[in-house]
Amino acid sequence: MVTVLDLGSTKAVCLAAEPDGAGGLEVRGLAVADCKGLRRGIVNDLEETASAIETVVRRVQKETGEEIQGLVVSIGGTHVEGINAQGFVPIYPKSRAIQREDVLQVINHSRQLMLQPDREQIQAMPREFRIDGQRGIKHPIGMNGSKLEVVTYIVTGQTTHIQNIEKAVGMAGKRIEHMVLQPLGSGLGVLTEEEMELGVAVVDIGGGTTDVGVFSGGSIAYSATIPVAGLLVTSDLSKLLKTTPEEAERLKLECGNTNPKAVSDTESVSVMQLGQTQLRPLQRRVLVEIIESRMRELAMMVKQQIEKSGMVGMLPGGIVLTGGGSLLPGADKLFSDILKLGRVRIGEPSIQGPHSSTLNQAGMATVVGLAQFAVQFADDELAPAESGNWKERIRTIWSALGGKQA
C-alpha cells in the first residue's frame, strides 16, 4: 500500500492505495481537509499546514486500519525547476550486457550539476536511454552495447522551502518517502499513456498556482509553475465588486464563466457588498468580464511557457486542463482560442471503486497521479531497496557508487 499527500494552496489531500493488478489503483482510504498554510506552493504557516496533514493522515489511518509510515508528498511553487541533463558511461569490456550498476552510474553522471548553494535536487527521472547512439530505449538492462547515454529530467528546489515541507510533515509525526513534482502528479493523474507518448501538455489550474507539464515519449520533458490561479480570480472579484472573499468565491462558483459573449446584457446577479446590509443587483456580464480578463492573462502565460518548452508542434495530444480552476465554464474554449495548439479538453481522474465520486474531479488530479507514481516507483527496477529518509534514498544510488552528492 502507498500513501500520498498533496499539499495544495486550498486543501490537503491524503490518499492510500494499492495497485489493482491491471495498471490502475485500488483505493484504500481518502481524506481531504481545508488548508491555508501554503501560499503558491510555499509553506507560510507551519502550524496550520501540520495540523491539516495530521487531520488527513489520521482519517486515512482510521479508514485503512493501518499505521502510515512514510508519505509521498507533492512539491510545487515557482522555486521548483526542472531541467534535462545528459549523462554517459563507456561499457567495458565492449559490447557486454548492460547491468543495473551501469544504469545507476549513467544516471548519476547526468546528475552532476552545479547548483546554487541554496538549492538541491528533489527528483531525477531517466527519460530515455541511448545505446551506441540508438535512441528511445526505456529498459537498457540486459541489452548489449559499448556506450550508454541517458537524458534525465532533474527537479531542483530551494532548500528552505523543501525543509519547511519536511518540518510540517514531521510535526504531524510522519516522514517523507519522496517528493514529487506537482505537474508530474497532475499529468499522471489525468493523461492517458497514449497522450504522454505522443506529446501533450497538462495545465493544472489550482488555487494558488497553475502547473504546466509537457510530456513526450512517455515522460515529462518540461515543467513550470505560474503564480496565477483560482484564488487570484476570486480576489479580483472581491476587490472590483467590493465584497468579502467568501462572497466573491460564491459568485464565482455560482455565476462564473469565462466568456462574456455567452451572457446577455439583461442577466443580473445579487451581490452583498461590503458595508451594505442588502443584496444589490449587478450585471452578470461585469462579473464574467473580470473573470475573463484574468483567465485570458493566465492562458497567455501558459502559452509563453509552452513556447519556452520548445515543444510547440510536437503536441498531437493537445492541452489537458485540470485543477479546480479549470471548472470555470468556457475555460477550454478560451485556452483553445489563445493557445491555438489543437484539442483542449478538461481532464479528470477516472478511478473506480470507493471514493470514486470525490476522486474523479479536476482538483484531485495531483493526488491521484502521486499515487500512480508511488505504485510505479515501488515496482521500479532502479529503485533503491533501503528505506529511511527520502534524501538518503535519492542519494543511495550515488553513494553506492562511492561518489559524492552533486
Ligand X SMILES: Nc1ncnc2c1ncn2[C@@H]1O[C@H](COP(=O)(O)OP(=O)(O)OP(=O)(O)O)[C@@H](O)[C@H]1O
Residues interacting with ligand X, by CB under 6 A? 8-11, 41, 206-209, 229-231, 234, 249, 252-253, 256, 323-325, 327-328, 363
- Ramachandran assignment for 235, one of left (phi > 0), alpha (psi -120 to 50 degrees), beta (any other): alpha
Residues in a beta bridge with 348 = none
Q: Residue 71 in contact with residue 57, Cβ under 8 Å?
A: yes
Q: What's the CA gap between 257 and 232, in Å, rounded? A: 15
Q: Which long-range contacts (CB under 8 A, 24 or more apart) does 308-313 make?
A: 308/222, 308/224, 309/201, 309/214, 309/221, 309/222, 309/224, 310/222, 311/199, 311/201, 311/214, 311/216, 311/221, 311/222, 312/341
Q: Is 369 in the site for Mg ion (CB under 5 A)?
A: no
| Binding-site member from 2, 5, 7, 8 for Mg ion (CB under 5 A) | 8
Q: Residue 84 in contact with residue 46, Cβ under 8 Å?
A: no
**2 or 75: CB nearest Mg ion:** 75
Smallest gap, in angstroms, from Cβ of residue 41 to Mg ion?
9
Q: Residue 364 in contact with residue 13, Cβ under 8 Å?
A: yes
Smallest gap, in angstroms, from Cβ of residue 248 to ligand X?
9
Q: Which three cell numbers stand for residue 306?
A: 509552452
**19 or 76: CB nearest Mg ion:** 76
Q: Which of residues 339-368 bind Mg ion (CB under 5 A)?
A: 366
Smallest gap, in angstroms, from Cβ of residue 373 to ligand X?
16
Smallest gap, in angstroms, from Cβ of residue 215 to ligand X?
18
Q: Is 213 in the site for Mg ion (CB under 5 A)?
A: no
Q: What's the CA gap between 74 and 76, in Å, rounded? A: 7
Q: Is 206 in the site for Mg ion (CB under 5 A)?
A: yes
Smallest gap, in angstroms, from Cβ of residue 7 to Mg ion?
8
- Residue 11 contact partner, candidates Mg ion, ligand X, none, CB within 5 to 8 A by sort of partner: ligand X
**229 or 287: CB nearest ligand X:** 229
**75 or 394: CB nearest ligand X:** 75
**Sites of contact with Mg ion (CB under 5 A):** 8, 206, 366
